[in-house]
Structure 1
Amino acid sequence: MKRWRLPLVFAAVAAALLFVLFKGFGRNPHEVPFMLKGTAAPPFVLKSLDGGEDVKLADLKGRPMVLNFWASWCGPCKYEHPVLEWGAREMGSQAVFMGVVFEDTEENARDFLRRMGASFPQLMDERSRMAVDYGVAGVPETYFIDAEGIIRGKHVGPIDPQTLALRVRELTQPAPAPTAEAARQH
Structure 2
Amino acid sequence: MGNWRYTLAFVALSLGLLVVLFKGFGRNPHEVPFMLKGQPAPNFVLRSLDSGEKVSLEDLKGRPVVINFWASWCGPCQMEHPVLEWGAREFGSQAVFLGVVFEDTEDNARQFLARHGASFPQLMDPRSRMAVDYGVAGVPETYFITPSGTILDKHVGPIDPQTLATRIRQLNGSAAPSAPAEAAR
TM-score past 0.5 threshold: yes
Deviations 1:49-82 (A, max 9, x none): 0033110111111100000000001110001000
Query: In structure 2, what is the Cα distance between the partners aligned to 1:75 and 1:16?
Result: 42
Contiguous gaps of at least 5 residues in structure 1 = 1-14, 175-186
Paired position in structure 2 for 1:87 = 87
Secondary structure of 2:126's counterpart equals coil
Q: Kindly state the Cα deviation for residue 31 of structure 1 after the two structures are TM-superposed.
A: 1.3
Match of 2:8 in 1: none
Rounded Cα–Cα distance in structure 1 between residues aligned with 2:155 and 2:130: 17
Is 2:52 aligned against 1:52? yes
Give runs of aligned pairs for residues 32-181 of structure 1, distance below 5 A. 32-173=32-173
Deviations 1:133-174 (A, max 9, x none): 000000000000000111001000110000000001000129
Q: RMSD value over aligned CA atoms?
A: 2.1
Q: Structure 2: which amino acid aligns with 1:132? A: V
1:38: Cα distance to partner?
0.9
1:152 aligned partner, one-letter code: L
| Cα distance between partner residues in 1 of 2:19 and 2:80 | 37
Q: Please give the secondary structure, in 2, of the residue aligned with 1:40.
A: coil
Counterpart of 1:4 in structure 2 is: none
Letter in 2 for 1:130: M
CA distance in 1, matches of 2:109, 2:30: 26
Stretches of structure 2 that go unaligned for 5 or more consecutive residues are: 1-14, 175-185
With normalisation by structure 2, the TM-score equals: 0.81
After TM superposition, give the deviation of residue 124 of structure 1 in Å. Answer: 0.2
Instruction: Give the C-alpha shift of residue 26 in structure 1.
Output: 2.1
Hey, what does 1:9 align to over in structure 2? none
Matched residue, 2:30: 30
Could you tell me which amino acid in structure 1 is paired with residue 74 of structure 2?
C
Deviation at 1:30, TM superposition (A): 2.5
Structure 1 CA distance, aligned partners of 2:21 and 2:78? Answer: 34
Task: Give the alignment's TM-score, normalised by structure 1.
Answer: 0.81
Q: SS in structure 2 opposite 1:127?
A: helix
Alignment deviations for residues 103-155 of structure 1 (CA, whole Å, 9 cap, x no partner)? 00000000000011100000000110000000000000000000011100100
Partner SS for 2:127: coil
Q: 2-side partners of 1:107 and 1:25: how far apart?
A: 45
Aligned residue type for 1:61: K
